[in-house]
Amino acid sequence: MDNSLKRFYEKVYEGDKNDFFTFSTEDATQEVLNVLDWTGLRVLEIGCGNGRTANVLANAGAGHVLAMDYSENAIKTAKIENSHEKIDFQVGSFDDLKGTYDCIVMQEVIEHVDDPFSVLSLLKEHIHQAGHLIITCPSFLNLRGFVWMTLQILFDVPMSLSDKHFISPFDMEKWSDELNLSVKWKTFRHSSGQGEKMVVDMKKRLTNALRDAGLKNSKVDELLAWYKSVSRYETNQIHNGAKALYHFRKSTH
């Protein structure tokens, strides 16, 4: 990640992280927890933030968790808020990775890196042959995503100041094929993809993003009222949640 993004997250963690994000990421942590039996596993978490996911995995029986973040303020917060004998918190980045692990977890990080494919290729080398790579990130095969991809591609209106990529399941499937990885995926947080929470989140994002792009934002409420009506006809499906979880393993063939 570049230095400007690093400075951005240092400011986020210097204040109250909960004031920055619209919704908690506890549901993403729960989805990660549900993937495996963590008993005795040697785990690496990259981009650990305030350390809550690392703490959950340690409490679930992980043998050891190395939790890394390149934000010094994030690691300071993590050490204050989480104390567990099986967790080591460390300031570091992808360049600092050594050894192999039973599982690598990267929660809400890959959309911020310069080259997601290169990151997947690197992480593949740091999991055991029978190991696991678990990644969560936003997904865009939903009403919320259709809005943002239209704005992003046609008008260069960013979804946020920190997201560099708009990743969907077909991207991950393509990359996994190229890296000889198998991948299973699901999406969750459907209400943020086409429901009530989507309207709350989009009110904030659309108003600010259009303003910053020098575009008219006076009709955001009218558009959101239309989306609220449309959302009543949407059904939750495997692909249309606002968040996705990807579980990679090295292919055996």
What strands, in cross-sheet order, belong to the sheet with 64-69? Answer: 87-91, 64-69, 42-46, 101-107, 127-138, 243-250, 181-188
Predicted local distance difference test score (pLDDT) of residue 195: 85
Predicted local distance difference test score (pLDDT) of residue 21: 52
Predicted local distance difference test score (pLDDT) of residue 38: 98
Residues 6+ apart with CB under 8 A from 195: 231, 234
- Return averaged pLDDT per consecutive 10 residues of the chain, 253 residues in all: 59 56 79 98 96 97 97 94 94 94 97 95 96 96 91 84 86 97 96 89 89 91 92 91 96 70
Entry pTM: 0.90
Predicted local distance difference test score (pLDDT) of residue 77: 93
Predicted local distance difference test score (pLDDT) of residue 43: 98
